[in-house]
A = this chain, B = another copy of it.
Amino acid sequence: MSDPAPDPATAALAHDLRMACMRVARRVRFDVGNTIAPHHFSVLVRLHEQPRTLGELAAIEQVSPPSMSRSIDQLADLGYVVRSPDPDDGRLVRLSLTGEGRDVVGRERELRDAWMAARIEGLSDADRTVLRRATDLLEGLLEADRGGAQSRASGSGEAR
């Protein structure tokens, strides 16, 4: 392992693809919604996947437990999240979404998806087929190192 200079075309593709993805992400974040703070939405998405403890959530979001505790305070005040004690371990606090919390996630996702849909609707079927295949490839790449060397907790992509 040392990446002894990949060929120029691959290097250029890596750069261009990375830039394109980051630009899409940036545009979505800037142009869409803003009905909820980005870090709050990110938390809701994690809890939409499954209920979690506060410590888990803090680790996933790469934030200290006290910070996450404060965020949860706010999301609980908004009625999007509920704290409940863990039946097996009294130290843990289990977090889960309320129905309203799930609605918020659903609405925001619709807005974001609509942003992207509006841009690919005008493409030809052939072009959309290319994007479909590329998307599947990207998903494979992202999935590939989920259990890999570093096995990071980052991944939902809905973040911030």
> A residues near B, CB below 8 A?
3, 6, 9-11, 13-28, 30-31, 62, 109, 112-121, 123, 127-128, 130-139, 141-142, 144-145, 150, 152, 154-160
Contact = CB atoms under 8 A, between A and B. Distances in A.
B130 A22 contact: no
A159 B131 CA distance: 24
Contacts of A128: 9-10, 13
Contacts of A17: 116, 120, 131, 134-135
A25 to B, nearest CB: 4
Main SS at interface, chain A: helix
Contacts of A152: 27, 30-31
B62 A30 contact: yes
B117 A19 contact: no
A141 B119 contact: yes
A85 to B, nearest CB: 31
A19 B28 CA distance: 11
A4 to B, nearest CB: 11
Given A121-B6, A134-B134, A24 B18 contact: yes
Given A17-B135, A138-B24, A30 B120 contact: no
A155 B19 CA distance: 10
Contact of A11 (B9, B113, B132, B154): B113
Contacts of A132: 9, 13
